[in-house]
Structure 1
Amino acid sequence: MTKLFAFIALLVLAGCTGPSPTPPVQPVPASPSEASAERAVQPEVERPEASLTLAQAIDIALANNPDVAAAHWDHQAAQARHDHIAGSRWPRLGVVGSYMRHLDEQRLLPVRQPGDPAILSQDIVSGDLVVTMPIFTGGRLIHQIQAAELLEEAAEHRLARNREELVFNVSSVFFNILAQRRVIQSLEFSVRTLQEHLDRVDALVAARKAANVDRLRTEVRLANVRQQLVQEGNVLAVQHRVLASLLGWEQADATRLVQGNLETAEETSVPELETALATACSDRADYLAAQSALEAQAHNVDAARAGRSPTVVLQGSYGGRWAAGSTTGTGDKLDDIGRIGLAMEIPIFEGGQINATVQEQRAHLAAARERLRKLELQIRLEIETALLSVTSSRKRIEAVRASIVQAREGLRIEQQKYDLGTGAIVDVLDAQAALLETETTYYRILAEFQTALAQLKLAMGHP
């Protein structure tokens, strides 16, 4: 008797205690199938030793970026939810055990036939193997499973969109770094040019062919360009930090220079607006995710409406009953018992819960429709903006490219005029400033053009 009570106490206490808690900040252990799926989505990419190309940066970002990793785990969670709901249509098999202490003696087994011997006891222990299977739910399970499948598809599309946005962000920062390096090179060239001009001015002042004020003006201009150089160098360092963050690196390595070309070798074709819109509606991942979410919500409405229908389940059990303490009567203290049958539940009054659930799901459906309509308007705006940016940047590149040659020739002429004593120092400094502004503008427009092309691909849903 003591062993029996100890066993029962162990079962009770085992239900009150749990395993060691899951640490929230440590990596989540994955099953072998999940680990292989994770490696397929996030293949290991070696960190380059020296230079970094755009393709390498994209591969590293897709493998290491935490946003992509989080979207991947969200997709895994959606798959698990689908498996959980899909498993509810299969039979449930479990073991149920109990110990009951009654105030009065109770029959160990129900009456099977008249005249059966009865054994009574205050302490009854039971153990049953119980099976339950849904037979009819009014379509609730079917709609829940279909909704879960669509939500899984939506999570997969969101993962794809997250990867596309990451590719765009990496490309944009990459092009800006290339442009910023060219800007710094232009500033360094201006510093060298001004320093050489300052040396010539010193020689002319020593020969009494130039005034000392010319030297002062050149020094002021040189100091201004040098502070610009420091400022632009800080911008480049910040851009390296942003790129490292997108790549999933904890520290930025400015010595690892990005390698690429801002200028396109061939003419890039740009689609028409309606063609781009049609492509976006068929290929853009976030639009497909919104459509799947809308269809899933429609199934959620049908599942909620099925709550008004009867529910029929198959129930069966087989187990044993035995007396744990003193008994009264004749018969065996241990015997088996079983049952099988159908159970039906018809909702009559639920306090308005079913109607409220249906109204809630319908409101979610209306909200999902409006979010899809908003996304359609946003897609049109993004494509129109990207097309205008591509066209504008291309025209500005053609205009500024020709002015660079003119600015360089103008600076050369003004320097020669000043050396011959027929020009003014102000004209030389203005020509140098014009050349610097033209070159920096040109490189930044090149980065804007490449970013606009990437923006157009992102808006159309191209990988």
Structure 2
Amino acid sequence: MHKDKFIRTRISMKKDIYLRQVGMTLLLTFAIVYKAGAQEQSRSLTLDLDKAIEIALSENPTIKVADIEITRKDYSRKGAIGNLFPTITASGDYSRTLKKQVMYMDMDIPGMDNGMKVGQDNSYSMGFNFQLPIVAPTFWKNIQLSKADIEQTLESARASRLSLVDQVKKAYYNVMMSEDSYQVLKESYDNACLNAKDFRNKYEHGVASEYDVLRAEVQVRTLEPGLLQAENGVKLSKVNLKVLLGLDMNIEVTPANKLSDYEADMYEQALNIDTSLQNNTNLKQLDLQADYLKKALVVQKMSWYPTLTATGLYNWTSMSNGPIFKDFRWNPYSMIGLTLSIPIFQGGSRYYKVKDAQLTVNQMKFRRQDLVRNLQMQSISYIDNIQKSIKQIASNKEGVRQAEKAYSIMQKKFEIGAATFIEVNDANVALTNARLSYYQAIHDYLAAKSDLEQVTGNVDLSKYMKDQQN
């Protein structure tokens, strides 16, 4: 009896241990699955266009380089201001006389026929030198020149941001276009597979011919390469977007919008297009460059002006004979003064530098005229593309509606045996082409609108940089 009780106790203990092991295994498995799911969720990112641009302006290396360049130019400006402050230097000098100079006296002195050696073996000098520009026209104008240089750098940074915004927009549009195209081709492929299956069933029941079955199955094989290519296009477009956003390649990016979402606001936006070039970054950079060259011309002219500098020094000197480090006799001396420098003649170099700078300034006027004409031509071209795309969108949308209706009719005819494979396939191809044309027209409109905004410079960068400013 005791033996049976002992056996039952052992079995109960083993059962409890087994249940605890199973429980721990299930708990560990759940934790691993939950962690993997959380990691997977954290590695995916759904973005709208504004958020994508905001991330790009914050993380893209090109923008960081542009911001560093602004800081570098500011340091150059501070360096130019530093030229107006006093310059203090410390110096030290030692010289050893190898052969002393001989001095002769122009008089008859006994014992001086061979002259008299002068000087000592060791000479020491150390002290401080001081300079302060009092009248320095070139330094004054260089400060203004450095400020103009910073303004150019700021506009160049703005140009980098505008260019990046344009690139991100087009990359985002390309992702939407590739995804919508893939969905269209996938639906066409699914329709072809369904048709092939229906033809196979009808053939087995003696309703369809073997030729129709073969044609339907061949059509499925024909669509597969295009579908794979479209899938690869989605991946490549997302990689391009992630590069612009400065994101890790392992993060899955998904657009929060589709191309058809932009159709609703398209007509209102087209009516309110601003074609003014006053914010064009190329024009602004050219104007700032012209202003910089004018200031540089003034700097060249300042080289004709005299300069006045205050100078001073405080030195200690010592001389001795014999060993180097012996018998020091330090004697301090100091002085202050003014140095006036008046440029008189330098072989005409200043004159020709001024002429060269003047011609460079004159060139900017003609460059601006040429740039304005080219920008106006681009603006007109982009507006034409926008208007053409709007018309195509309206036409293609109606084409999609008609193609969907035609395909639906053909499917019903096929179900009752009144349509051949060629007719069904033609309807499917027409529907696919109509949808692709519709999405392509929207994509072309968005790309042309982005190009126009890039040319006009009418992009509100501040709304994408609020978080950075805060």
TM surpasses 0.5: yes
* CA apart distance, 1:326: 4.9
Within the alignment, does 1:125 sit opposite 2:124 as a pair?
yes
Structure 1, 449-458 or 387-396: larger mean CA deviation: 449-458
Which runs of structure 2 are paired with 1:7-406 in the superposition (5 Å)?
49-102=44-97, 121-137=120-136, 139-251=137-249, 253=251, 255-262=252-259, 263-264=261-262, 265-266=264-265, 267-270=267-270, 276-277=275-276, 280-281=277-278, 283-323=279-319, 325-326=321-322, 333-406=329-402
Deviations 1:329-373 (A, max 9, x none): xx9922221222221223333244323433443344345444434
Select the structure of larger CA radius of gyration: 2
Question: What's the Cα RMSD here?
Answer: 2.6
SS of match in other structure, 2:143:
helix
SS of match in other structure, 1:423:
coil
SS of match in other structure, 1:89:
coil
User: Does the CA-based 8 Å contact 2:319-2:328 persist in structure 1?
Assistant: no
Structure-1-length-normalised TM-score? 0.78
Structure-2-length-normalised TM-score? 0.77
- Return the alpha-carbon distance in structure 1 between the equivalents of residues 197 and 320 of structure 2: 110
User: Does the CA-based 8 Å contact 1:157-1:285 persist in structure 2?
Assistant: yes
The count of aligned residue pairs is 396
User: Does the CA-based 8 Å contact 2:320-2:328 persist in structure 1?
Assistant: no
SS of match in other structure, 1:257:
strand
Q: Report % sequence identity.
A: 20
- Return the alpha-carbon distance in structure 2 between the equivalents of residues 425 and 190 of structure 1: 14
User: Does the CA-based 8 Å contact 1:97-1:127 persist in structure 2?
Assistant: yes
User: Does the CA-based 8 Å contact 1:176-1:444 persist in structure 2?
Assistant: no
User: Does the CA-based 8 Å contact 2:43-2:250 persist in structure 1?
Assistant: no
Q: What amino acid is aligned across from residue 280 of structure 2 in structure 1?
A: R
Deviations 1:306-344 (A, max 9, x none): 2233232221222222225559xxx99222212222212
- Identify the residue that residue 18 of structure 1 maps to in structure 2: none
- Identify the residue that residue 112 of structure 1 maps to in structure 2: none
User: Does the CA-based 8 Å contact 1:186-1:436 persist in structure 2?
Assistant: yes
Deviations 1:289-320 (A, max 9, x none): 32112111111112112223323222122222
- Return the alpha-carbon distance in structure 1 between the equivalents of residues 243 and 376 of structure 2: 30
Instruction: Mark the CA change 1:357 to 1:310 in structure 2 (over 3 Å): closer, same or farther.
Output: same
- Return the alpha-carbon distance in structure 1 between the equivalents of residues 72 and 366 of structure 2: 26
- Identify the residue that residue 433 of structure 2 maps to in structure 1: 437
- Return the alpha-carbon distance in structure 2 between the equivalents of residues 199 and 157 of structure 1: 62
- Return the alpha-carbon distance in structure 2 between the equivalents of residues 381 and 324 of structure 1: 83
* Structure 1, unpaired ranges of 5+: 1-46, 107-118
